[in-house]
Structure 1
Amino acid sequence: MSISNILSSDNTSNQPLPPPMASPQVASSIHRITVRQQPYAARSCGFGERDRRVIDPPPIVQLTIHDDSLSKSEVSQLLRHQFSVVHCSIWDDKGEKDMSSMPEDFRQQRRLMGTLVASPFVGLDENGEEGCFFCFPDLSCRTPGSFRLKFALVVLDPINMRTGTKSDILATVFSEPFQVYNAKDFPGMKASTQLTKRLKEQGCLISIKKGNEKRDTPGSSRGGTGKDDDDYDEDDSDEGSAKWPRKKARRSA
């Protein structure tokens, strides 16, 4: 799914379409985005729709405004603009090739699954500083490998949007490389960060996990804990998160 397709209006009108426009380019802007929470690892989910595993930890992008002529209230207003969106795509670990498309045999499917567009959430971070955050708690990757995520910021203009128009990309940023593992090699989920917990407390739709990282224990192979890879503490009430069946509590011997 390309950013241009997301930003274009639905072609439901019977009116003739205008000539196709060039692909959006990064425009000069006072907007900056940074990856506040980097992806670390994921378990590949293959080509089914039921056995999804999300990228861990959930990537979080922060928007900042850089213009000395603006007052603090004006900056705050820009950060709260409800039509700001960030789109996510998957690239190779050098950030040179878009890896969204699958090999020819699977060309009807995309490598990156889940909710690829995030809307802004304004709240306090773990240090008590106000910020504008775009959270991606529902991203999954079909295939193992080393990748980066690319994030692109667009500020939509709902008044002037019409069929065939596109909005400029105001800022882009790549994540650090992260690894997608086969099920047998996946090192486990990390416990949620303080940033994730703080945003969750303020109403952000993001899940909190206890973590189940594999550690070296006597009698375990590959450094496993003896626990199932799918053990987790997931809040299923959150929208936009991959729906996993809850594990039944184990009976004590």
Structure 2
Amino acid sequence: MPTENNVKIIFLHHSTGFCIYEGGVEGWFENYNSTKGVSYQIYERDYPADGYSWQNYPYDYWNIWVNHEGDIPYKGQDPLEILTEDYDVVVWKHCFPVSDIEADTGYPDISSNRKSIENYKLQYNALKEKMRQFPNTKFIVWTGVALIRSETTEESAKRAREFFEWVKNEWDEEGDNIYIWDFYELETEGGFYLRDEYASGDSHPNSLFSQRIAPYFCQRIVDVIEGRGDISSIEGK
């Protein structure tokens, strides 16, 4: 953090993330800054965007940030070397197809874009090592976005929960610069699917859910900034 009260945050997302952002994130921070006398400036960006494939799954973050690391954008996308120069907190997430997870083959491949737990784990472990190279930057990773029941299978949905539980309980470690916001649990409430009452007709969250959840997202960011990331609720409640 550059100063205790002046922090720049970048939120990297696609459509689901924008639903939550539009749920009142900017207004929440404006009120918090005014009330607390701080300047936590949040910015949002489609990522990856034009020039890349608009895929934002574990493979893609690994491909941009690890496989093509460096000081030069890869296909128009800023690597961590650039993002961490411009921002103090980096928040990143996947869109809901991340939960469409296929069965493992027994041959994990970090350079494969196949959606499987075995590949995701390799990619996440490499991403963790990469993020730890920037100890002055704090990272917040959303657990994955869930699918509605009609857009997935029971097997895929169960694999998704298995992976996100691993992210929370094994991959995430206390004492480093990486934190979790448990969006998946807020969407599923212990189940395997985005709850019908929270959906917009497909796997995007509806506006009522987004407005209810946005303050949890904001609170989680503030908890991380202010040093409570390892002791406060990972749901932001």
TM-score, length basis structure 1:
0.26
Which structure: greater helix fraction? Answer: 2
Bigger strand share: 1
The normalised TM-score by structure 2 is 0.27
Structure number with larger C-alpha Rg: 1
